[in-house]
């Protein structure tokens, strides 16, 4: 019964928080409802709502009002009322819009067979993801634990978090000390506010399934967005060199869903990122195609309203994930440059039409409001801490100097990469870059290819294995284009090249098995062997014990061998770096300037250096995994073992 | 097929997924659901003279024995019952602070755990 109630409150809160505001905004600002298909309305409502809730919570927090269910509810009603009242403004703005192209709505309706296939693909996708999440639904992931700390802090304190943590330093007198909390640029507010809002509205615990389910929802919506993007792109890329039905939008949308749904559905950046709590990337992977969809329609249909929406969504992304924002900006610049280059003969006319679009009241208003919010209300933490400069420059570390093509293929899936590159060649060969859809798709793929293989060309100093996860999106779209175009051309009755039906069947099966085999292997490699429930329960039980008995004294825990250790801090909510943590061993080796106390206090607690660390930092309790670290504490007369379970021991330092 | 039907299909399948995941998470986080483990700890670690300990039992076993030793000398031993899903507090008599290690060993079947001061 409880799961049913949890599901009900989750959907109710998600509907109120993450659908209703966006849906209202679309109703108010885009009167003509036929502008959006139902699927488009769904994804746009979600994206807009996410932004509105984020900004509303930031404003409430900055006004000094407690962030709770009451203030959030009143704020939402006020925002919605404001939006409805803004109708009269939009009426005037709409008069300025000039449209050049109306796409008939039936272009995007699915046949019965296509619709059934769509639902089957969605069901299959969810089924595979659920198999994976059966063992990964538990709150064990390190990143998710870090993020949920901040979300729980917002819920508990009712204020916006100050992203800072205590550090261990060595004073000039040689004594180790904990600093006052110092700013950290790793977190961005938009990664935590949606979870805080959901927890406030539902009362669901952060240790429940809701954070992962919410990330799964975003992941599924991002698949839907890619599919719709493919649908829109395909409608704008017909070529006289191809048979009429070669780029059937619905088939390409379905092929896209196939390449992102059942295939490659577990590895990064999909279900693995969902269970791993890679919040920023999961949200970023939803926003990037959504923004491209909106901007594509803005430019193609010459609608300033869409451009304003694109500006707003980009602004939301900037408050959610810095890397995704950077990638998006590169993609936009590359696509625009490509389009400009291919229209060098009509550059003046083109720039003039762009200027007309950008200088319309809607986009200008959103741009102005964004600037006011940015400078007057709150800046993203990575701007405040000047973290942007660390991502720009010539890469020096080997992890940032780019991947080999083999690594790229392995990461993106050989089948998808092979087909995607064929798709890229087809579009370039057909000069589809002269269309907005082609320019976006080719620009998107090309810039990510350069960022992944040769980041030094663009002065990008970011881990290459993080950039490559973004590459799967354009390459997957291109795979869908390649596959559908290829078979439609072979089947074309008017084609000079007549291929026997049997050959087409064999080729289809070969391609299908290649894609399926490669995609399923990728899924198979990602599946978790067994549940971590037992270890996790022991960690949480020990955490509750210390929360009751530690009396605010310093605690040290181990990150290497304790399950779900990053979630321990949710039981204390004292500081992001509380309890102190012995990190991965490699980090101490790679960076000799890193503080060594957290390593020494567990690895060699009985040496002079270990004892000095304990004394200087006043650490009283140590949580370790007895299968790896118990001997050094058993031998010592300085420690009492006060808690014992199979996977956790807690030691107390004697005074 | 109208796109609205696709939205409804998506909603239904996602709802089923959500129900399952909430159910699975609850089941996994239930300390007694198909699991077999127990912990024990000092009830008042801040009080050095107290030998009171708490056993949190999530195993099928209910019969436990404890032994208290100062150094190698066993000063007290007894048996107690701890039901599954319950925390059982055992309070042996307190003793004065010792120079040697005071160790409490709890055993059940072949399993043994120790805490000490």
pLDDT at res. A527: 63
The whole-number pLDDT of residue B84 equals 94
> Is residue A96 in some structural domain?
no
Do the domain assignments include residue A104? no
- Are residue A42 and residue A125 in the same domain, yes or no? no
Instruction: Look at B39 and A537 and tell me if their CB atoms are within 8 Å.
Output: no
Q: For residue A119, give the nearest of B2, B6, B40 by CB distance.
A: B6
DSSP secondary structure code for residue A111 in this structure: P
CA-atom Rg of chain B in angstroms: 23
Last residue of a domain, which of A510, A526, A542?
A526
Interval A192-243: pLDDT, tens: 999 999 999 999 999 999 999 999 999 999 999 999 999 999 887 777 767 7
Query: Is residue A156 located within the same domain as residue A41?
Result: no
Question: Is A607 inside a domain boundary?
Answer: yes
Answer yes or no: do A459 and A550 share one domain.
no
Residues A35 and A152 in one domain: no
In the stretch 68-107 of chain B, residues with CB closer than 8 A to chain A read 101
On whether both A408 and A299 belong to a single domain, the answer is: yes
Which range of residues forms the domain containing residue A261? 111-137+209-526
Among A141-145, A272-276, A326-330, A561-565, the least confident range: A272-276
3-state helix/strand/coil string of A174-232: CCEEECCCEECCCCCHHHCHHHHHHHHHHCCCCCCCHHHHHHHHHHHHHHHHHHHHHHH
Output DSSP code: residue B104: E
Q: Do A537 and B37 touch (CB under 8 A)?
A: yes
Please give, rounded to a whole number of angstroms, the shortest distance from the CA of A644 to a CA of chain B. Answer: 6
> Considering its fold, how many domains does chain A have in total?
3
Instruction: Give mean pLDDT, residues A368-386.
Output: 86
Beta-carbon separation of B41 and A650 below 8 A: yes
Partner residue opposite A39 with nearest CB, options B7, B39, B44: B7
In a domain, A130, yes or no: yes
Contact B7 A549 (CB under 8 A): no
Q: Tell me: the pLDDT tens digits for A570-585?
A: 999 999 999 999 999 9
Q: List the single residue in A with minimal CA-CA distance to B47.
A: A549
Q: Please give the structure tokens belonging to residue A136.
A: 């990964």
Q: Which long-range contacts (CB under 8 A, 24 or more apart) does A242-246 make?
A: A242/A430, A242/A485, A242/A488, A242/A489, A243/A488, A243/A489, A243/A492, A243/A494, A243/A495, A245/A488, A245/A492, A246/A484, A246/A485, A246/A488, A246/A489, A246/A492
In terms of domains, do A63 and A152 share one?
Answer: no
A618-630 CB burial, b ≥16 within 10 A, e <16: ebbbbbbbbeebe
Average pLDDT (B70-95) is 91
With an 8 Å Cβ cutoff, are B19 and A207 in contact? no
Q: Report CA dihedral (A52, A55, A61, A63) to the nearest 10 degrees.
A: -100
User: What letter would DSSP give residue B99?
Assistant: S
B12 touching A (Cβ < 8 Å): no
B7 and chain A: CB distance < 8 Å anywhere? yes
A564 and A508 co-located in one domain: no
Lowest mean pLDDT of A459-463, A494-498, A610-614, name the range. Answer: A494-498
Q: Is the pLDDT assigned to residue A86 strictly greater than 80?
A: no
Preceding omega of A269 cis (within 30 degrees of 0): yes
CB contact under 8 A, B115 and A642: yes
Query: Given this model, what pLDDT does residue A30 score?
Result: 84
In a domain, A295, yes or no: yes
Tens of pLDDT, residue by residue over A358-370, are: 999 999 999 999 9
Of the candidates A10, A110, A116, which has its C-beta nearest B18's C-beta?
Answer: A10
In a domain, A536, yes or no: yes
A381/A491 same-domain check: yes
Is A615 domain-assigned? Answer: yes
CB contact under 8 A, A114 and B1: yes
CA dist A128 and A242 (Å) reads 35
Are the beta carbons of B14 and A220 separated by less than 8 Å?
yes
Per-residue pLDDT tens digits for A32-68? 767 889 999 999 999 999 999 999 999 999 999 999 9
Q: Do A533 and B37 touch (CB under 8 A)?
A: no
Q: Mark whether A302 and A375 lie in a shared domain.
A: yes
The answer on A270 and A371 residing in a single domain is yes
> Is residue A424 domain-resident?
yes
- Strand-pair category, A619-624 with A554-558: parallel
Alpha-helical (H) ranges within A527-642 are 533-549, 585-590, 597-603, 608-617, 626-629, 631-635
Query: Do residue A504 and residue A410 come from a single domain?
Result: yes
Question: Which range among A293-297, A504-508, A611-615, B8-12 shows the weakest confidence by mean pLDDT?
Answer: A504-508
Give the mean model confidence (pLDDT) for residues A172-185: 91
- Whether residue A44 is found in the same domain as residue A162: no
Last residue of a domain, one of A472, A496, A526: A526
Domain boundary residue, one of A526, A559, A587 = A526
Q: Which residue of B has its CA nearest to A551?
A: B46
Mutant choice from B41, B55, B105 vs A, greatest count of A C-beta within 10 A: B41
Q: Residue A194 and residue A225: Cα distance in Å, rounded?
A: 20
Q: A81 φ, ψ to 5°?
A: -65, -40
């Amino acid at each position: 019964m409880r799961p049913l109630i949890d599901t009900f409150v989750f959907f109710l809160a998600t509907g109120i928080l993450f659908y209703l505001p966006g849906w209202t905004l679309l109703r108010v600002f885009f009167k003509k409802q036929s502008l959006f298909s139902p699927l488009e309305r769904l994804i746009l409502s979600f994206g807009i709502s996410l932004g509105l809730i984020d900004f509303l919570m930031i404003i409430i927090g900055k006004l000094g009002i407690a962030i709770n269910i009451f203030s959030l509810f009143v704020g939402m009603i006020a925002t919605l009322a404001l939006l409805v009242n803004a109708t009269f403004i939009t009426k005037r703005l709409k008069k300025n819009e000039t449209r050049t192209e109306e796409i008939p709505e039936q272009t995007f309706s699915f046949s019965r067979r296509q619709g059934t296939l769509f639902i089957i693909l969605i069901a299959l996708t969810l089924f595979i993801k659920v198999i994976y999440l059966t063992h990964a639904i538990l709150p064990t992931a390190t990143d998710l634990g870090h993020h949920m700390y901040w979300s729980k802090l917002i819920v508990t304190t009712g204020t916006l978090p100050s992203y800072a943590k205590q550090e261990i330093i060595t004073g000039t007198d040689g004594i180790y000390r904990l600093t006052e909390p110092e700013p950290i640029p790793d977190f961005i507010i938009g990664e935590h506010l949606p979870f805080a809002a959901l927890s406030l509205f539902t009362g669901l615990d952060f240790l429940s399934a809701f954070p992962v389910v919410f990330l799964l929802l975003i992941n599924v919506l991002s698949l839907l967005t890619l599919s719709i993007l493919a649908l829109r792109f395909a409608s704008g890329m017909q070529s006289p060199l191809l048979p009429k039905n070669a780029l059937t939008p619905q088939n390409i949308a379905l092929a896209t869903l196939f390449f992102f749904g059942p295939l490659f559905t577990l590895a990064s950046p999909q279900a693995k990122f969902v269970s791993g709590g890679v919040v920023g990337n999961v949200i970023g992977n939803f926003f990037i195609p959504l923004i491209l969809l909106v901007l594509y329609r803005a430019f193609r249909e010459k609608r300033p309203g869409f451009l304003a929406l694109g500006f707003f969504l980009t602004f939301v992304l900037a408050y959610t994930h810095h890397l995704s924002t950077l990638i998006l900006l590169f993609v936009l610049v590359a696509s625009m440059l490509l389009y400009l280059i291919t229209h060098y003969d009509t550059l003046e006319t083109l720039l003039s039409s762009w200027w007309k679009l950008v200088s319309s009241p809607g986009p200008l208003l959103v741009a102005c409001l964004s600037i006011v919010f940015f400078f007057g209300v709150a800046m993203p933490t990575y701007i405040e801490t000047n973290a942007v400069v660390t991502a720009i420059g010539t890469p020096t570390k080997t992890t940032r100097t780019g991947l080999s093509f083999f690594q790229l293929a392995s990461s993106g899936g050989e089948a998808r990469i092979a087909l995607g590159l064929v798709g890229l060649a087809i579009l370039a060969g057909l000069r589809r870059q002269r269309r907005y859809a082609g320019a976006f798709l080719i620009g998107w793929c090309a810039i990510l290819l350069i960022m992944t293989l040769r980041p030094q060309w663009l002065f990008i100093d970011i881990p290459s294995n993080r950039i490559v996860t973004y590459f799967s999106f354009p390459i997957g779209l291109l795979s869908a284009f390649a596959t559908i175009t290829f078979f439609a051309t072979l089947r074309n009755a008017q084609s000079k090249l007549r291929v026997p039906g049997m050959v087409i069947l064999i080729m289809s099966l070969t391609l299908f098995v290649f894609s399926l085999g490669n995609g399923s292997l990728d899924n198979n490699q990602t599946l978790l062997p067994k549940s971590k429930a037992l270890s996790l329960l022991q960690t949480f039980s020990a955490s509750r014990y210390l929360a009751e008995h530690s009396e605010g004294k310093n605690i040290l825990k181990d990150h290497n061998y304790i399950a779900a250790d990053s979630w321990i801090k949710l039981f204390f909510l004292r500081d992001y770096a509380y309890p102190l943590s012995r990190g991965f061993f490699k980090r101490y080796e790679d960076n000799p300037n890193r503080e060594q106390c957290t390593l020494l206090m567990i690895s060699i607690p009985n040496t002079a250096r270990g004892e000095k660390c304990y004394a200087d930092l006043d650490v009283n309790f140590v949580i370790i995994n007895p299968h790896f670290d118990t001997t050094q504490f058993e031998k010592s007369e300085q420690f009492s073992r006060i808690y014992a379970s199979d996977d956790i021991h807690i030691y107390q330092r004697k005074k | 097929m109208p796109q609205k039907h696709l939205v409804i299909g998506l909603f239904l399948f996602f709802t089923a997924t959500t129900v399952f995941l909430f159910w699975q998470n609850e089941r996994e986080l239930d300390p007694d659901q198909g699991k077999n483990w127990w912990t024990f700890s000092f009830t008042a670690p801040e009080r050095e003279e107290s030998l009171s300990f708490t056993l949190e039992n999530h195993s099928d076993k209910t019969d436990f024995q404890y032994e208290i030793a100062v150094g190698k000398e066993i000063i007290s031993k007894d048996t107690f019952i701890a039901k599954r899903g319950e925390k059982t507090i055992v309070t042996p008599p307190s003793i004065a602070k010792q120079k040697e290690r005071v160790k409490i060993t709890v055993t059940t079947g072949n399993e043994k755990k120790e805490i000490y001061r």
